[in-house]
Structure 1
């Protein structure tokens, strides 16, 4: 019969200290504040999920009797439907032009990402590696443009895109506006990362006879994949979630993006909250999948350019 091995004293003390530290962290005010903040953030999301799967269009998920007790009233504050169903999702996908709106948003967002990355990568590389007149002022203007809300640019953009260029109610005009909106942040993001790449790599390639275009496409861009991934994600979300500009520039219902189409579920005369909630969940799925795909680049990309050396 085997006897139980005697655990070393240092191992037992280490486990006790770890348990005590864990209990101290749980009952600390920081942990309580973190739990409270998490509940504040999660509570609205629970309402959206419950409304989407309830099959109802009203905000009242549980019907309480008139003589309901205080405990029942508090329980009703928890957004749990009486019956879970997929009727709202089925109606949004079949009875509404939601798939058309989703396709429009996908086309606009992907085109905005492609145009924004092409312009920002080349501009950021030029600001990082070349010295020319107006370089510092140009970067400062990019920074200043981010200090003003996008609503201030609404009238100038409308005059330029709709009246001057005649691109109103078209995907091309919307893609152009979104690309310009995302360009300053993308340039600053990529310029900071390009500054961290050693210039000796490019000098070695130049000595081997490589051109600047070859160095940029075959050396710099592969090394900058983390920053490009984060920048592309930002450009995609800029076009995917934007509502104000799309609602003003688009008049044809067949060209609506998803944020513009979802507003018709909630109006002054009728509010279809179930359709709105289910559509919101469907809209968030592509962004979630994109985050999961690019998550290995996010940490390194977000900290890119923070330290130069």
Structure 2
């Protein structure tokens, strides 16, 4: 029995190691290759590791609109996350604390909204944003992203609010707190892991999205990073060193955000959410 458990544990560790290698190696290759010289990248000088810390590819990024794309992505990501979290907290609290006609039906619609492929909604959303006069604007793109992030955030916040005892909220209201005061001061603090997890989900989703950013934005100065990086790929030739260096810079903010919030994500993976 013990030997069987040890074999199962060894197999699980092997699978985890293979998954880790498959996930980390591409990023490691990108980082290492971004410091290679152009001949080393093109194969003229075959090297697994760069001969030195070559920063020329990073210097070339200054000649592009990379930092404009970067700021656009930051603005859209922050705006989308802020709006989505605010709406998700209010909606999730409503689903968790109040019983009303159509409660379950509306919740099912919210969950089902996540199942639609993004490409199927491109044309309806395009027509809607165009009717609002928000095409080719970061505001219109933010609204579209909120519509996609909101269903998951609502579901997540509802489950976290369900895990907070109603008694502490009622006690706060007896002591003089209004409904919203009780929400922000008593109910929300224990549910902060859910808020942080929803923030991570939204930021990553917005940061890497390409389809809608490419569809709704035409002006070069309003492009986000995902579309901006695509412009670095030439029709006949591509500066792979510059593209790899840009990829490394794009990856850093997501890693920093995830590293800061990983304790909340780990809590969720450990079963911190009540279903």
Q: Which residue of 2 aligns with 1:248?
A: 215
State the shift of 1:275 in Å: 1.3
Partner of 1:81, secondary structure, is: coil
Q: Which residue of 2 aligns with 1:141?
A: 109
1:161 is aligned to 2:143 = no
Q: Which residue of 1 aligns with 2:32?
A: 50
Partner of 1:284, secondary structure, is: helix
Contact 1:58/1:273 (8 A) holds in 2: no
State the shift of 1:28 in Å: 4.9
Cα 1:270/1:213, change in 2 over 3 Å? same
Q: Which residue of 2 aligns with 1:183?
A: 150
**For the residues of structure 1 that align with 2:252 and 2:11, how far apart are their CA atoms?**
35
1:210 is aligned to 2:203 = no
Contact 2:160/2:274 (8 A) holds in 1: no
Partner of 2:235, secondary structure, is: coil
- Per-residue displacement from partner, 1:158-177 (whole Å, max 9, x unpaired)? 11112x11100001101100
Of 229, 247, 253, which residue of structure 2 is paired with 1:262?
A: 229
What are structure 1's unaligned runs of at least 5 residues? 1-20, 65-75
Q: Which residue of 2 aligns with 1:80?
A: 49
Q: Which residue of 2 aligns with 1:69?
A: none
Contact 1:51/1:81 (8 A) holds in 2: yes
Q: Which residue of 1 aligns with 2:69?
A: 101
- Per-residue displacement from partner, 1:106-162 (whole Å, max 9, x unpaired)? 011000010000110000000000111111111101111112211111111111112
Cα 1:42/1:296, change in 2 over 3 Å? closer
Matches within 5 A, 1:16-27: none
Q: Which residue of 1 aligns with 2:94?
A: 126
1:113 is aligned to 2:111 = no
TM-score, normalised to structure 2, is 0.90
Partner of 2:35, secondary structure, is: helix
1:63 is aligned to 2:32 = no
- Per-residue displacement from partner, 1:187-216 (whole Å, max 9, x unpaired)? 111111100100001111222232111111
Across the two proteins, how many residue pairs are aligned to each other? 270
RMSD of aligned residue pairs (Cα, Å): 2.3
State the shift of 1:224 in Å: 1.3
What are structure 2's unaligned runs of at least 5 residues? none
Cα 1:43/1:131, change in 2 over 3 Å? same
Cα 1:60/1:30, change in 2 over 3 Å? farther
TM-score, normalised to structure 1, is 0.80
State the shift of 1:302 in Å: 4.5
Partner of 2:115, secondary structure, is: coil
Q: Which residue of 2 aligns with 1:89?
A: 58
Of 218, 226, 229, which residue of structure 1 is paired with 2:196?
A: 229
State the shift of 1:232 in Å: 1.1
Cα 1:215/1:132, change in 2 over 3 Å? same
State the shift of 1:39 in Å: 3.2
Bigger Rg, structure 1 or 2 = 1
Contact 1:229/1:297 (8 A) holds in 2: yes
Partner of 2:45, secondary structure, is: coil
